[in-house]
Structure 1
């Protein structure tokens, strides 16, 4: 299935949007750290604020899976073809927004795929692999996929908050206890990215970094 990545619009508008969602990502990470009892509430967000942060912004455009005449109003359109296969985001946190066309699905316990209701006025927040590792499994990376709509284009905008390439990623000591031992060995983002590119899209990358 055809999938493309495009960037549109005035560069100043795009830059302003990126800065806004970056601030939102940092606020969310601060609240997570505070809720977990981490001694420095800005420990996680500082990695995204860093001038060398490897964060990125992406626009996705999914064409309809059918170019035939749309069905009558009383018949529902379907989203049955894969636009982007199942995976987890390797970064820390993803801030996602889309138009009013469905297609995003998340995998819940038991392997069931659940559609996410599209809302162009809201954000979808996905935990990534790095955040799962740094919180010692308190927050779990979200496995998700994108399906194409039968008759409509789907657009999405994603900000992927990531640490600097050589930042040391380790679990804060407050999150390691006798009842919850350390799950992952320390690593850096450059090492994790290299491992990610060596695997297939749907493979579990964190398995390579288990303690």
Structure 2
């Protein structure tokens, strides 16, 4: 049966522009290994982060076929597992910000939305050995894997590892873009609070308002995000003029955007851009965001190259874990660390 065409509130309509007007970062020169190539990419990255905060990354070294395979596993999980299997790996039960969440359980814009986001998904973090001390750190812990669903764990971790490797290469280019030593961030991202998700957005029907969107307007919380889209579209970002701009899906590129922590780290030099998802395609939409955040104990203060007498530090120092916890816990009605009812002191 055909899904009824959606009707958008006029304030929710994105301005359609050719994707060539969005910054495109070619990562290939950085992958050459030469300093000149890395500095070339760093220059373009700096311009994009200052002026947009949202960009495409091409020639990342991660094969598009890997994202396609991961999308396939995401669809299989949602279609082939039983409600009991999903409940057993529910984030609300498992904790650690890992596992499955259903439609409405996450609300990324609680100031406007009443019903929560119209999406479901699954969170995966670093797979830790039994004796890894980080297992006792909030938001680390163990991943939640469904029973009797062979191949899923291996597929998810393969994608996670590929994106984690890309992110650790990319943050070195970020360091160069900020006139810092290339390895400046290395010791702060060797045990990252990185999270991979797959998300499913059913098509929205009827009159759409801010009461419920596929994903409510928000900025990302951490350093930066890589996003693979499945070709359906629906992502919008708000530019500095306050206009909502469509970010068309490109299967040959990742979308990358800056998060709040990097805006804080760069003393507001780099922009953490407000964005949202509205799926009016009459199709199911899937996406694969990978959030790259620093170690839990990473000390976050304004970088020396981003502070001057005329531009003093805008934020008090914090840690990677404290910053993420403050932002993340506000979006759920349950305790994201331990599972179960939400704790008042979070």
Give the drift of 1:3.
1.4
For residues 1-211 of structure 1, what are the structure 2 equivalents within 5 Å?
2-6=118-122, 10-38=152-180, 40-48=181-189, 50-51=190-191, 53-66=192-205, 82-197=213-328, 199=330
When you count strand as a share of all residues, which structure comes out higher? Answer: 1
Give the drift of 1:28.
2.0
RMSD: 2.5
Closer, same or farther: CA 45–79 of 1 in aligned 2, 3 Å: farther
Give the match's secondary structure for 2:314.
Answer: coil
Give the drift of 1:200.
6.6
Residues 223, 262 of structure 2: 8 Å contact kept: yes
- Report the TM-score, using the length of structure 2 for normalisation: 0.50
Residues 66, 150 of structure 1: 8 Å contact kept: no
- Report the TM-score, using the length of structure 1 for normalisation: 0.79
User: Any unmatched runs of 5+ in structure 2?
Assistant: 1-116, 124-148, 333-346
When you count helix as a share of all residues, which structure comes out higher? Answer: 2
Give the drift of 1:197.
4.3
Give the match's secondary structure for 1:130.
Answer: helix
Aligned residue pairs: how many? 188
In 2, Cα distance between equivalents of 1:197 and 1:126: 18
In 1, Cα distance between equivalents of 2:258 and 2:195: 15
Closer, same or farther: CA 126–193 of 1 in aligned 2, 3 Å: same
Give the drift of 1:131.
0.7
Can you list the C-alpha shifts for 1:149-186, whole angstroms capped at 9, x where unaligned? 24101100011011122221112223211232212111
Can you list the C-alpha shifts for 1:64-117, whole angstroms capped at 9, x where unaligned? 1149xxxxxxxxxx9987201000011111010010101000000121100001
In 2, Cα distance between equivalents of 1:6 and 1:167: 26
